[in-house]
Amino acid sequence: MDVLNAYSDVGAHRKIGFLIRHHSENKEDIREIAKKALDWRNIHRILNLGCGYGWFEEALENRFDLLVGIDLRDENREDYLRAARAISAACSFVRLELPSPFDMPSGSFDLIVSIYSLYFFPGILPEAKRLLAPEGAFLCITHSERMLEEAEEFFQFRKLTKIIERFSAENGESHLKSYFRSVTHIDYHNSLVFEASDREDLHNYIFFKKDAIASEVNSDLLEEKLLWEMGRKGILRLNKNDRIFIAKQ
């Protein structure tokens, strides 16, 4: 899947994370909001589906018994394990293309997370339910289907939108309710803001997404159009609304 190519370069993935934080109107870390919504007293074993380089784990302070990260990209192994070792007595990284069944007992984890990844493998939900302990929580963070709405004034991103629509802010609750008794959500309202002095950052942001849009839009042409829009308005805002879901058995 072309859209996953950007995640093979851990350094670039980290840098784009910093860029997004820098240009976000909402300065509250979405991980902190998600953490406050969970009861950590009985969370000892965590499974991260689509763990990447351990972005979520880097925001945790507690000490855990076990952290398991599953990801398609083996390039993420070293960084994920570094983040996990800092906060857990035991940890492992499993390279696996999801959705796939796991050779693990039912109810193995107190917390299962999928951060900006469940739209790649929504078919994992039955297995996530099986692996979650009876009193556990399933934490998901995902994008809005409108995340590209400003750029869609000029171009259509049907391929990327179709991926997000597999598990989005708008439909995630209905997907989760097919498997979990209780589903709550928290909206994270945000925009990425670029000004005239941010041309390089805008270029880097578009370049990071070029594989995801390459089959439909030339990234250089997209950059040209967005720079024109920024020059016309003096500022460019891009939708970055996300939603946090917490599901329970």
Measure the CA angle with vertex 243, ends 119 and 56; round to 5°: 75
Residues in contact with 164: Cβ distance below 8 Å, sequence separation at least 6, in sequence order: 119, 142, 143, 144, 145, 147
| Structural domain count of the chain | 1
Please write the tens of the pLDDT for every residue from 11-36: 888 999 999 999 999 999 999 999 99
Q: Which two tokens stand for residue 124?
A: 């994992």
pTM above threshold 0.85:
yes
3-state DSSP assignment of residue 246? strand
CATH number of the domain that residue 58 is part of? 3.40.50.150
Q: Where are the alpha helices (DSSP H) in the chain?
A: 10-23, 30-36, 77-85, 125-131, 158-164, 172-177, 199-208, 210-213, 219-233
218 in Cβ contact with 149 (< 8 Å) = no
Position 167 scores a pLDDT of 98
Each residue of 149-198: pLDDT tens digit? Answer: 777 676 667 788 889 999 999 999 999 999 999 999 999 999 999 999 99
Which residue range forms the structural domain that includes residue 192?
A: 2-248
